[in-house]
Chains A and B, each alone.
Chain A
Amino acid sequence: MKHDISLAVRRFIGENFMFRDDGDAITHDASLLDAGIIDSTGVLELVCFLESSFGIEVHDEEMLPENLDSIRAISAYVSRKLESRKIELVA
């Protein structure tokens, strides 16, 4: 599951910010800000993508580089959100 998230995120970043077929050029841990891949308003696009693709809601206080600045961080963040939603549903 985590692998699928990471693939989808990599593909989105590759196509939308690097305008390539894939995001192979970025490593899993590379900072998207430091590499200049996400521009001044790019994070808003990324959030829209995560919300519409994974059905999660990104709260303002979660819009942090810790959650969104690398493919690994994004995948982990989305997994946590999906996990907590599953727990909420079960409860």
Chain B
Amino acid sequence: MCGIAGFFALTPRTLAPRGVLERMVEAVRHRGPDDAGVYLDRRAGLGHRRLSIIDLAGGKQPLATADEKLWVTFNGEIFNYVELTKELTARGRQFRTRSDTETILHAYAEYGPACVESFNGDFAYAIWDRERQRLVMARDRMGVRPLYYTVHDGVLVFASEVKSLFLYPGLRAELDPLGLDQCFTFWSPLAPRTAFKGVHELPPGHQLIAEHGTLKVQPYWKLRFPARGERSRADADAIGEQVEALLADATRIRMRADVPVGAYLSGGFDSSVTTALAKGYNEGLRTFSLEFESPELDESAYQRTLVEALGTDHSSLRCKGGDIAAAFEQVIRHTERPVLRAAPAALYLLARQVRDHGFKVVLTGEGADEVFGGYDIFKEALVRRFWARQPNSKWRPLLLRRLYPYLGGLQSQPARYLEAFFRTGLAAGDDPLFSHLPRFALTRRISQFYSGDLRRAINGYDPLEDLRSTLPPEFGSWHPLSRAQYLETGCLLPGYILSSQGDRVAMAHAVEGRFPFLDHRVVELGAALPPAMKVKGLREKYVLRRALGRHLPRAIVERPKQPYRAPDSESFLHAGAPGYVDALLAPEAIGRAGYFEPRAVRRLVDKCRNPLGPVSAGDNMAFIGILSTQLLHSCYVQALI
């Protein structure tokens, strides 16, 4: 796990000097504090910051083949490198190290760019093929590891994080109005778009091949679901055994490391499963968690139940409102996009705790909800679809009360209002985005704060239409649950869960997250399962609970879903809040940045500071979204304070 950066002249020309490459790499030092290296020739420059996890002595990068015809700079892990090394050795390849990095070089030498299909891992790499004068970049299937690029003056410039790109001569940061509009709809820009103009993100499951003066970006893996009615009869026990065996193997290969591997333990079902499975491979497993002051957010009672049942060596950090605000400035420097919740700051603090205990690697339970149908939005869509068949039914919308039990504000609404909220898009049953329309509508309320300049720059762009245009042709033939899973896995997972709440805040402290549920074999199995094996009635993750629940205390298996949440606007509006909050939200600063209407923001801040009741989800999202945009601008575009 590391940070990479580099550049490649699309056609022969003078490249930036070595010092530029060194500075680009230095900008991601936090991702790899253990070592650094650069390689530069007349056509390409590859840079690397290393976090040593596998083959501590031999894994230095950039790494070349013995004939130095191939060079690689690589961030991440190829978890099946042991099996691949055997396979490649049998084909006559000679390895000089024990590292997974060398596996990439030999696999490329043997299979060309298609080698990526044989990798089971979380990775982002660039291979410089000197003989063919070709640069090949690739990113893992689910988007765990980041990879950004831009083309400037005939040179492809790339890096693990956007901040490195702006150190290349002639490149400067400017926020992209459409990227912001996507953020304020989907919670993050959708790759290849980013929050920065002209900067692209290599989408998950894609590779980029640069040769003969052109770039070709193409998918090597796609998430697909069976058409409705294609499935055979489901045997829950047989499926359960298959799920358990595959998850156990996904966990086993994710325990491969030459340093100790720990685990996050939130108190929820998913991280409990990964912890229970990991315990089978490491008796003295260390686990880490966060506690909150607010009883609505705190899960420490469940964490204690689990620690007792699983017998892990556990450390917990108590997170206070002041901690969130103190960390948030740095968090946004790392997320490199606006966020709509304070939760990324909580996970930043958790990763710091892990690092303070000397750990570099943790397993987490992320991905289970997307793969096995755990989110309330899936059940919400099924209830809304059921209700839409009889829109005048009085009792069908009452099922909505059984969703989002952790949202006190939503639960305390009168029935008729709850109904009215979820009625959004009820008549749009044919809309491919049906499942997500209420969420998108709620998030898009932030657009009422847009300044005239931002509205003009957006110029009528419709992010929902943009998303619809990217859906695969067979999307409409899938079961509604599959469609909702596809949207969630394509929108929220890579851009928010795995990035703002994942890689970026963990790697801020050089901590590598590993995700057994996102092993592509598990993802493919989950996609192929009959919908009733995922959401049965209104019970989420049915087959997963059935198969893995026996390893866990009953209280954990039966508890309702609760996402990772942290106090939002209240974290920033207390007497001891850091000075940047007021400074960046002041009308002059809002006006100087130019994205939002200063008077509207003033009213929002006043309202959140002196709320008549609980601050609504929409107001909290707007507050965090605006504050984080101001921080992003101040950090990368022009200092505001």
Interface residue ranges, A against B (CB under 8 Å): 15-16, 18-21, 33, 36, 39-45, 48-49, 52, 60, 63-65
Question: Using an 8 Å CB-CB cutoff, how does the interface string of B400-423 with A read, 1 for contact, 0 for none?
Answer: 000000000110111011101100
Given contacts A41-B614, A44-B613, A60-B414, contact A21 B409 (CB under 8 A): no
Q: State whether the Cβ of B442 lies closer than 8 Å to any Cβ in chain A.
A: yes
- Which of B413, B445, B607 is in CB contact (< 8 Å) with A44? B413
Q: How far is the CB of A67 from chain B (nearest CB, A)?
A: 10
- Which of A15, A16, A20, A40 is in CB contact (< 8 Å) with B421? A40
Contact B612 A65 (CB under 8 A): no
Contact A48 B607 (CB under 8 A): no
- Which of B418, B448, B611 is in CB contact (< 8 Å) with A19? B448
Q: In chain B, what residue has the closest Cβ to A60?
A: B414
Contact A33 B618 (CB under 8 A): no
- Give the distance in Å from the alpha carbon of A33 to the alpha carbon of B417 in the complex: 8
- Give the distance in Å from the alpha carbon of A19 to the alpha carbon of B445 in the complex: 11
Chain B residues within 8 Å of A52, by CB = 612
State the interface size on chain B (CB cutoff 8 A).
Answer: 30
B605-624 interface (Cβ within 8 A of A)? 607, 611-614, 616-619
Contact B600 A41 (CB under 8 A): no
Contact A41 B612 (CB under 8 A): no
Contact B613 A41 (CB under 8 A): yes
Q: How far is the CB of B380 from chain A (nearest CB, A)?
A: 12
- Which of A41, A48, A63, A65 is in CB contact (< 8 Å) with B617? A41
Chain B residues within 8 Å of A42, by CB = 616, 618
Contact A65 B417 (CB under 8 A): yes
Contact A40 B613 (CB under 8 A): no
Q: How far is the CB of A30 from chain B (nearest CB, A)?
A: 14
Q: In chain A, what residue has the closest Cβ to B415?
A: A63
Greatest chain B CB density within 10 A among A21, A39, A40, A43 is at: A40
Q: In chain B, what residue has the closest Cβ to A63?
A: B414
- Give the distance in Å from the alpha carbon of A52 to the alpha carbon of B410 in the complex: 22
- Give the distance in Å from the alpha carbon of A40 to the alpha carbon of B581 in the complex: 26
Q: How far is the CB of A2 from chain B (nearest CB, A)?
A: 23
Contact B441 A36 (CB under 8 A): yes
Chain B residues within 8 Å of A44, by CB = 409, 412-413, 612-614
Contact A64 B414 (CB under 8 A): yes
Q: State whether the Cβ of B222 lies closer than 8 Å to any Cβ in chain A.
A: no
- Give the distance in Å from the alpha carbon of A87 to the alpha carbon of B219 in the complex: 73
Contact B616 A41 (CB under 8 A): yes
In the complex, 22 of the A-B residue pairs with CB atoms within 8 angstroms, ordered by the A residue number, are A16-B607, A18-B448, A19-B448, A19-B599, A19-B603, A33-B420, A36-B441, A36-B445, A40-B409, A40-B413, A40-B442, A40-B617, A40-B618, A41-B410, A41-B412, A41-B614, A42-B616, A42-B618, A44-B613, A45-B611, A63-B416, A63-B417
B370-428 interface (Cβ within 8 A of A)? 409-410, 412-414, 416-418, 420-421
Q: State whether the Cβ of B604 lies closer than 8 Å to any Cβ in chain A.
A: yes
Given contacts A15-B603, A19-B603, contact A43 B417 (CB under 8 A): yes
Q: In chain B, what residue has the closest Cβ to A43?
A: B417
Q: State whether the Cβ of B478 lies closer than 8 Å to any Cβ in chain A.
A: no
- Give the distance in Å from the alpha carbon of A15 to the alpha carbon of B606 in the complex: 10
Chain B interface SS verdict (over half): helix
Contact A19 B413 (CB under 8 A): no
Chain B residues within 8 Å of A64, by CB = 414, 416
Q: How far is the CB of B449 from chain A (nearest CB, A)?
A: 7
Q: How far is the CB of B396 from chain A (nearest CB, A)?
A: 18
Contact B449 A19 (CB under 8 A): yes
Contact A45 B600 (CB under 8 A): no
Given contacts A16-B603, A19-B448, A19-B603, contact A43 B441 (CB under 8 A): no
Q: In chain B, what residue has the closest Cβ to A49?
A: B612
- Give the distance in Å from the alpha carbon of A36 to the alpha carbon of B613 in the complex: 19
Given contacts A40-B410, A60-B414, contact A45 B612 (CB under 8 A): yes
Contact B413 A41 (CB under 8 A): yes
Chain B residues within 8 Å of A41, by CB = 409-410, 412-413, 613-614, 616-617
Q: How far is the CB of B127 from chain A (nearest CB, A)?
A: 49
Q: How far is the CB of A15 from chain B (nearest CB, A)?
A: 6
Question: Using an 8 Å CB-CB cutoff, how does the interface string of B475-501 with A read, 1 for contact, 0 for none?
Answer: 000000000000000000000000000
Apart from the given pairs A19-B599, A19-B603, 4 other A-B contacts in the complex at a CB distance below 8 Å: A15-B603, A19-B448, A41-B616, A43-B417
Contact A40 B414 (CB under 8 A): no
B549-583 interface (Cβ within 8 A of A)? none
Contact B413 A39 (CB under 8 A): no
- Give the distance in Å from the alpha carbon of A39 to the alpha carbon of B604 in the complex: 14
- Give the distance in Å from the alpha carbon of A65 to the alpha carbon of B414 in the complex: 10
Q: In chain B, what residue has the closest Cβ to A15?
A: B603
B414-460 interface (Cβ within 8 A of A)? 414, 416-418, 420-421, 441-442, 445, 448-449
- Give the distance in Å from the alpha carbon of A88 to the alpha carbon of B66 in the complex: 96
B582-613 interface (Cβ within 8 A of A)? 597, 599-601, 603-604, 607, 611-613
Chain B residues within 8 Å of A43, by CB = 413-414, 417
Q: In chain A, what residue has the closest Cβ to B601?
A: A19
Contact A20 B416 (CB under 8 A): no
Chain B residues within 8 Å of A63, by CB = 414, 416-417
- Give the distance in Å from the alpha carbon of A19 to the alpha carbon of B447 in the complex: 11
Contact B417 A39 (CB under 8 A): no
Top 7 A-B pairs ranked by shortest CB distance? A19-B600, A48-B612, A63-B414, A41-B409, A39-B618, A41-B616, A33-B420
- Give the distance in Å from the alpha carbon of A41 to the alpha carbon of B603 in the complex: 18
Q: How far is the CB of A27 from chain B (nearest CB, A)?
A: 17
Q: How far is the CB of B623 from chain A (nearest CB, A)?
A: 11
Contact B613 A45 (CB under 8 A): yes
Chain A residues within 8 Å of B418, by CB = 40
Q: In chain A, what residue has the closest Cβ to B621?
A: A39
Question: Using an 8 Å CB-CB cutoff, how does the interface string of B229-241 with A read, 1 for contact, 0 for none?
Answer: 0000000000000
Contact A65 B416 (CB under 8 A): yes
- Give the distance in Å from the alpha carbon of A43 to the alpha carbon of B410 in the complex: 11
Contact A39 B617 (CB under 8 A): yes
Greatest chain B CB density within 10 A among A18, A20, A43, A48 is at: A43
